[in-house]
Amino acid sequence: MNPVTPDSEDRLRLSDHADDGLELAAYFRQIWSYRVVIAVVALVCAGSAAAVALTSGPKYQARATVMVSQAKIGDFVAATVPIATLRPLLESKNVAAKVIQALRLDQPPRRVSASTFFSDVATVEQVRDSPMLTLTVELDDPALAASAANLIAEQAVALSRAVSEGEGVRARNDLDQQKEDAKARMEQAVEALRKFQEASQIELVRKDVESMLVQRGELLPLLIRIETEKAKLAAAEKELAVRDRIGTVKRTIDSDPVLMESARKPADSNGSRLIGLETKNEFVNPVYESLDSQIATIRTTLAELERKRIQIVDIRKLDAPQTALLTKVYALEGELTRLTVERDLVTAVYRQVATAYETARTQVAARSAQLQIIDKAVASDQPVSRHVARNAAAGLTVGLVFASLGALLWSMMRQAVSIT
């Protein structure tokens, strides 16, 4: 086998190109052989196109211009809405059907249908680098063309407004159920809190707890005072036990000058015997009386203190490590806090939903762009050009292409038949 060299590769490539050139030349020769037929067919097509353009009735165009206006409410400017999103409003088949029905375009001799309206009668084009769209209607009646263009624009504007309002209504409807649910939850939470406050009487319980804590704080000083009074009572009773209630005072005659002087008088034969006699005087011991009074006072005070201690300790059990009243108030405070937080939460949710509900229409309108007519169509006083030359040239081109292809296929079929 001979090795393939770069020179041989170049020769093979040149031979391939040469073969392609030979085939193209063969095709051209085959088409050229039918040049007369091709020319006749092309001329016939050009003449037919020109004849159709000349025999067709005059057409009148009416043009209306609409603009996509971006919504602006207050200081809020909506984001720019692409024109392509609003163009279907102008090209809507529903709009076309309404226009056809209103202007009776579906009747002879026009017989326009909604499916072919925007291909045969009306066209929509965007003005370059602007938010405007032009709507062109071409009919055989200038006034009818202007009416159709204006009616389409008006219908599209009304449709855009309805779509914008519909968005607001849908947004409000979507939020309406949420608002009612939030309102019901808020009313339930408020009612639950009110019933709890009425049933628990938590303010009175708080006052009782405050009073209890005050008394509990007084318990230790009370016990100390009781022990002090007991100690005082014991000391007073001990001191009273060693003292007599009635005291006696003894006095001799010679200690009293008056008695002594009387004894010295010679009253009788017994006067000398009076000397050396003594007298006794009884009296209530003031110390005893004072101690007895103090003991009575201490016992009265002690009985009062003991009664107070019994009330605090034995009856109300305020010295216990845990008290039922304090446990109760803790539970009530926890439940009150829970209900208050729940009420505040559902109230805040209801306010947010209600605010969103009331502002839904405004927000949707602020974010929605609408169509606006800025130039209505007027009836044209001159028909549009029939474009005879353009149609003839197009017919000629189409005739040349199809005739050439037909000639080529006919030649290839003849060659295939001859080979077989």
| 60-69 and 370-375 strand pairing | antiparallel
Distances (CA, A) of 107 to 91, 102, 103, 110, 219: 21, 11, 9, 6, 109
**Is 120 among the domain residues?**
no
Burial class (CB in 10 A: 0-12, 13-18, 19+), 379: middle
302-335 pLDDT, tens digit per residue, is: 888 788 777 766 666 555 555 666 677 778 888 8
**Is 240 among the domain residues?**
no
pLDDT of residue 321: 54
**pTM of the full structure:** 0.45
pLDDT of residue 251: 59
- Quickly count: other Cβ atoms within 10 Å of residue 65's Cβ: 18
Report the SS3 class of residue 21.
helix
Question: How many domains does one find in the chain?
Answer: 1
The Cα 420–Cα 415 span in angstroms is 9
**Is 264 among the domain residues?**
yes
Q: Reduced to 3 DSSP states, what percent helix, strand and coil does the chain have, rounded to the nearest 5?
A: 70, 10, 20
**Is 399 among the domain residues?**
no
**Is 342 among the domain residues?**
no
Segments forming the whole domain that contains residue 277: 246-284
170-226 pLDDT, tens digit per residue, is: 767 777 788 888 888 999 999 998 888 888 887 887 777 677 666 666 666 777 777
Q: For each successive 10 residues of the chain (420 residues), what is the average pLDDT?
A: 47 49 72 82 82 72 84 49 72 86 85 85 85 87 89 86 72 78 89 86 77 68 78 80 68 59 56 54 70 84 81 62 67 85 89 80 59 85 72 84 83 76
Q: Which of 135, 313, 323, 133 is nearest to 226 (CA)?
A: 313
Distances (CA, A) of 151 to 87, 120, 131: 16, 17, 20
**Is 252 among the domain residues?**
yes
**Is 280 among the domain residues?**
yes
Q: Which DSSP state fits 83? A: G
**Is 318 among the domain residues?**
no
